[in-house]
Structure 1
């Protein structure tokens, strides 16, 4: 249906992308609403099913029900399939499925993939999709293997395998879904668990293009400007987050205060990494200082890198904004980094993405504040967590009203598609105007 509509030029690539996510969410909602998906053999209700399906497909991790307790094995499997589909990208998976069964990938399908993966051209997209699947499979298998050998000391081999596979996929897809009621807070002092999750989260959030370049670095010996900027901004954000969380929370007995020095290091690094879109937590988010919560809000808003499993405005978008402001302050007409000039054409897109994202967060925060009446910092945290497809919460998610849940559902969906992508799917592209009007200047600042 989607392909036929697109072939008849009724739908643009952004519209197909939006519709693809809506179809998957709808199917997921229907399946999760079945009594067999619940641990009590009773339907969890339409809104709860829709919320969970959206959260899983958009790899967010916000939950209104306990994944490990309230869902049956069937329900958990549906959630796992949804978050894997959402993490890889629905169009990437459908394209590779068509390729595997011997179907030719058409130009129109490549255009949809280009939109989905945020690429500049359609060249090499099928090859990139192959690498995405290979990288995903290898990384998730390695992560699951490490977790299996760790958990088999505690659980039966079958249960350990199930936990390992679920959490490895969830961590790499930056989904934040856990089968433990406390996320992974019980392992806040465990080096193996912390390190495994941090590596999986970083690999999932750095972007498939960057992973491919790092894989080929030994052969080429070079990295693109995109990869360098994504890696540098990611490293800076992790370090800044680690230092600030460590110093603010070290004296807070409800978070880092009562932990040993190594455990404080683990906790600070983990929360700095996971705040960028993963959604797992080893510390109690609701007990953090307001200053720490605001820092995490900023990290969640920035998010992961382009073409990754994460959300947010993206690291490169944030990096280009900082470079643009710095160049303007120094009176430079060009943005320069790593001995390269940044194309001026990208700046309007950067400003558009950030403006639309801020606008969405502001509107949804006002609406949720009005509907729920919770503390402002908690409401803002919840909205940005949904927008950045993070999944961290101060604890208000499960108590949201139906209206509040709908607001968060819309925010999660928009955050996964991207405000710009959603806007392009809704706005009809117009032909360039032939008339040029007189130019005038306006005072700003």
Structure 2
């Protein structure tokens, strides 16, 4: 959530920044917020004045009772106090309504993009920062991963559909072992890189979803348990970051670095068409997530470090990949800057996103009320970051397609200690 003082102090700059995202109505939104803010502050000021008057009148009534003044004068003063109390009650209600309306409108605004984010309208305007120089090609009889899965009996989509529905696969045999090997590989490397592993819940309450920006932006993409008003998580970022909701941290504990493995659930995945075939897009998938909470002065250094770290994982898996810097039109709602890492699918001849690494600056911490105290004991908002390290389905798809041979599917050397087999088939 945008810090309100930015709108108060430099409204035009906020409008110009958000217009880079292609938001046509943002000027009207900001003006509505400014109007509500003025009304809210004026109401708060009037309430403060009334409170001071009530305290003064109450003191005077006490003194008059003690001095046994004329009952008529005392009655008038008490009536005046009652009138002030009624006015105060009405203004308190108005203040609450203004605050609620203001918060609702602030929730609708995305994060202003960082100044270095490329200007663009959609994914075609993303900037390629790096790409594997030579892309491999599959042999003449090469198969797409959905055919390899069927050939070696690694994943059963039909049984998953019977149990739950489309987009909920059942991994089995060497497919399940390879999935578990990848999870452990990612977790072990994160531990070596200084990330503390946590195993959070996979359902969160509404407050947690609002705090990290999934609500009100992604209601239609999250699975909702209506009886309990809980949500299945779309990523471990949500519960891990919410561990620090309503916290004031010491500078000495920064940066905080966590890693967590969870299943993830997203309703927006389709169940038809080539772009969602096989493991390309699922309703339930596994992911290892990195989360950092940083001092504002160091967050962009941390972002670059996270990018380099995830690149190293992909390189150890021997996968061709590219790094994209997302443009303003493709940037996520909460992000100030995002890098995407995509691996190359040999058989499909397409790029598959396997990681997004984002700096949210103060956007989430403002919602979370996550702060630190500086050396002058001043309370300031922290920066939050997260990155996939990595999302498994498309990694698995790319691995299978790239490493297929007439004899079977070769397991990358970095994974062999985890799978305990060197080949599938």
TM-score class, shorter-chain normalisation, is under 0.3
- Structure with more strand by fraction: 2
- Structure with more helix by fraction: 1
Which protein is bigger by CA-based radius of gyration? 2
